[in-house]
Amino acid sequence: MIGAESFWSDGHQELFPCEVCGRCFAADVLARHGPICRKVFNKKRTPFNSLKQRLQGTDIPTVKKAPQSKSQPVKKSNWRQQHEDFINAIQSAKQCMLAIKKGQPLPPPPAPTINPDYIQCPYCMRRFNETAAKRHINFCKDQSSRRVFDPAQTAARLAARAQSNSSHTFESFPSVL
């Protein structure tokens, strides 16, 4: 077999590249390497699990990971609306400061904007984000079922509250300055 191999003039063997990996081998070695290389490169390697190996031979059961819940859809950001509200609030504050400096009556406050992402409570008409709304609506439903609103009783409470507020004046409080 040595006669079949070609030698160069300096005494080295002629090397041939492997079709799969590209490494160079002598002809007789390439014949053995070829099938092994094809078999190795055709298999997909599984990732090494060190936890599984560490727990091998112990009585500790392997803990399976809980399947990840589907990610919630990302809501659109309403940054543009928030930015406009912020700019309007600054402008109205400047107008109020100018009116105070000039001694003029204060301009009306800007109209409140409603956040479209918030959910309105059907019992108290307040607005909450989703998670707070779920908790609040159950609470508010329970509270509203306990209370019985009597219009006469409510009017009497409001009148008593207004009377108690009018009896307290700022002059009766001591000056802090």
Residues 17, 31: one domain? yes
98 inside domain: yes
Residues 42, 2: one domain? yes
126 inside domain: yes
**What is the C-alpha to C-alpha distance for residues 99 and 93, in angstroms, rounded to an integer?**
10
31 inside domain: yes
Pairing of strands 119-120, 16-17: unpaired
> Which of 2, 50, 56 lies closest to 26 in space, CA to CA?
2
Whole-number pLDDT of residue 81:
86
Domain that holds residue 154: 115-163
Whole-number pLDDT of residue 2:
44
Residues 125, 94: one domain? no
> Which of 30, 37, 23, 22 lies closest to 5 in space, CA to CA?
30
142 inside domain: yes
- Say which DSSP state 20 is in: T
Q: Could you write out the DSSP letters of every residue in 121-151?
A: -TTT--EE-HHHHHHHHHHHHHHHHH----H
Each residue's pLDDT, cut to its tens digit, for the chain (177 residues) gives: 444 456 565 667 889 999 988 999 998 999 999 999 888 888 787 888 888 888 887 777 656 666 777 777 777 778 888 899 899 999 999 999 999 999 999 998 888 788 878 899 998 889 999 999 999 999 988 888 777 666 666 677 777 777 776 655 555 455 554
Residues 149, 110: one domain? no
